[in-house]
Structure 1
Amino acid sequence: MRAARLVTLLLLLQARERMTAQELADTLEVSVRTIYRDVESLGIAGVPVYGEPGHEGGYRLLDGYRTRLTGLTATEAEALFLTGLPKAAAQLGLAAQATTAQLKIEAALPADVRDRARRSADRFHLDSSTWYSDADHTPHLSPIADATWNQQCVRIHYLRWAVPREITRIVEPHGLVLKAGVWYLVARNQGRLRTYRISRILEVKVLAESFDRSEGFDLAAHWNDYLIRFDQRRHRDTATLRLSRRGIERLPGLLEPAMVAAAQRTAVGPDAAGWTEVELPIESVETAVPELLKFGADVEVVAPEELRTEITRTLRAMYRIYE
């Protein structure tokens, strides 16, 4: 959202020539302090924006400076229509606005560029939801999105995995992430950034209290770091396996990328019989059993002994059913 705000700020200055920090703050619905930081960021990025003091002062762009953001090439227009997420916009309560914005942009394009953009939209469709699962129920997404945009504190009643299961927290929403059809809120609580699954939020109350975002916060970078840390926390144990040639070939289709990468990194072999020994990170014995049973006879558990015993117990129980 900050990147979009910086672009809007730049286009506002280009269109209106001069605006005060307060006028920019009112237009963009942020604090004056946020405008000061945004102007500084534009300057660091090389945009010639400067401030004039006094009653008639304000922020201006250097005379003659024009950003190329207002002119779309044909390929840029194609990309623009590919980035549309109508389902996500609807979940955020912005379906009508997104449609109107697209129509306005389409109307402003030259005829040949508009035709290419339409062909792009007709030939490519992005479906971000996962296979064979119902979409998360997210009735509180829209008010949380508004609070995130307006930098307002939110009181949430949240259902988590740990005990106590239900907690109430006042959080400062910094960003929303849509991953594989599931919405997540990144919010600050007691000075720490935490992640909440939107569908597990039971109640929401947007508070009048506002907040300043963490200095230099980058949502995409934070999310990537969070995923890495999440895998590290989740995979607390290690299993040693032997995989047949077919088992090695089936790895990418049966296990998640972090486990596949670990197997490839630790692979020893194949031996004379064609089996390769690998080490895999696992959450626990309980979660590893169904994952490894997918391989059938193409895997042998070497260690830990507890996992080997549980695999054996499960196979014997299955044999008794089909005997």
Structure 2
Amino acid sequence: MKSSRLVSILLLLQSRGRMTAAQLAGELEVSVRTVYRDVEALAAAGVPLYGDAGHAGGYRLLDGWRTRLTGMTTGEAEALFLAAVPGAAAELGLGSLLAAAQHKVEAALPPELRAHSARIKSRFHLDAHGWYADADEVPYLTDVAHAVWNRRVLRVRYRRWKEPTEVDRRLEPYGLVLKAGRWYVVSGPRPVTYRVDQMLRLDVTDEEFEAPEEFDLAGYWRRYQEDFQDRLHSGTALVRVTDAGAARLTGRQAAACAQNGRPDGEGWTRTELPVESTAFAVGEFLRLGAEVEVLGPPELRAEMARVVRELGVRYGDCG
């Protein structure tokens, strides 16, 4: 660990020029005292590194001196593919490898490209996690990732929504997917998707498997999402919606309104929208308040009326 940190200090100073001990400590996630000791070790090893005191001080390498220690390890090269999602890399236990790989790539760039990469980093950030929810506890994520990478069969105790709620499964983990802050594992031989946070017990076996060469994780996930949406929105509702209500529609409902909506001459748009169950659709339309009127099917309109009447009784004496 220390040798890796010493190399990181060299690469940081080589790519960024003068840096204070506090800045180095922040980059490496160690104490300032640790940086002092590491700098002393580098100087003792003959690295032409010196420090300046004062407000504009810091450590720097002798002008013109460069290290050739920019070759990435296998783990660092693998972690670099998660550079766009640093939080995911950390969850998979690859955070330090990713940081080391980025330092090495940065040090190998010519000054003009190095400045360009720093500008991109300062202006764009990708956060894959969703709003309004705490991150899921995923205690077995690292084990699942290990099994995916090493092609090892998993034996898991899994919690699902229907009876029996707890089942035992044998998984051949083809790949991991991070969607809106939630981890999924795609398992063979007939591709099935499981939520990693719903695994109650897990054993990584010594049994190996081979995924089909033609299996495409990204392609599978795209088709899975399309099928999921088709199954989810199996019904339709006929509604009238104001411009303000239409602007608050999202996903397939927004697309359906834009494609099929027709003005009704009274300042409203009449359209058919895809919906899930009646209960779920009621909740979706209630959030639009008076900006929507459900015209059909009859059971959905009746349920909307019942809920609105109940709300009227509950809040009737608030005026």
TM-score in terms of structure 1 length: 0.70
In the aligned structure 2, how far is the partner of 1:208 from the partner of 1:148? Answer: 13
Look up the match of 2:106.
Answer: 106
The structure with the larger Rg is 2
Aligned CA distance change for structure 1 residues 125 and 202 (closer, same or farther; 3 Å): same
How far off its partner does 1:126 sit?
A: 1.6
Aligned to 1:156, the other structure's residue is in SS state strand
Look up the match of 2:180.
Answer: 180
In the aligned structure 2, how far is the partner of 1:201 from the partner of 1:183? Answer: 11
Aligned CA distance change for structure 1 residues 81 and 167 (closer, same or farther; 3 Å): closer
Counterpart contact for 2:82–2:98, Cα < 8 Å: no
Counterpart contact for 1:270–1:277, Cα < 8 Å: yes
In the aligned structure 1, how far is the partner of 2:246 from the partner of 2:108? Answer: 53
Identity of paired residues, percent? 46
How far off its partner does 1:208 sit?
A: 0.5
Q: Which structure 2 residues correspond to residues 7-46 of structure 1 after superposition, within 5 A?
A: none
Look up the match of 1:266.
Answer: 260
Counterpart contact for 2:233–2:274, Cα < 8 Å: yes
How far off its partner does 1:81 sit?
A: 10
In the aligned structure 2, how far is the partner of 1:155 from the partner of 1:291? Answer: 39
Deviations 1:41-86 (A, max 9, x none): xxxxxxxxxxxxxxxxxxxxxxxxxxxxxxxxxxxxxxx8994322
In the aligned structure 2, how far is the partner of 1:223 from the partner of 1:303? Answer: 34
Aligned to 1:208, the other structure's residue is in SS state strand
Gaps of 5+ in 2: 1-79
> Quick check: 1:205 aligned with 2:203?
yes
In the aligned structure 2, how far is the partner of 1:317 from the partner of 1:308? Answer: 14
Counterpart contact for 1:91–1:142, Cα < 8 Å: yes
**Among residues 225, 228, 244, which one is paired with 1:227 in the alignment?**
225
Look up the match of 2:85.
Answer: 85
Gaps of 5+ in 1: 1-79
**Among residues 306, 315, 322, which one is paired with 2:315 in the alignment?**
322
Look up the match of 1:120.
Answer: 120
Counterpart contact for 1:82–1:124, Cα < 8 Å: no
Counterpart contact for 1:82–1:125, Cα < 8 Å: no
The count of residues paired between Structure 1 and Structure 2 equals 238
**Residue identity opposite 1:201 in structure 2:** M
In the aligned structure 1, how far is the partner of 2:111 from the partner of 2:82? Answer: 18
> Quick check: 1:140 aligned with 2:133?
no
CA RMSD of aligned residues (A): 1.9
Aligned to 1:281, the other structure's residue is in SS state strand
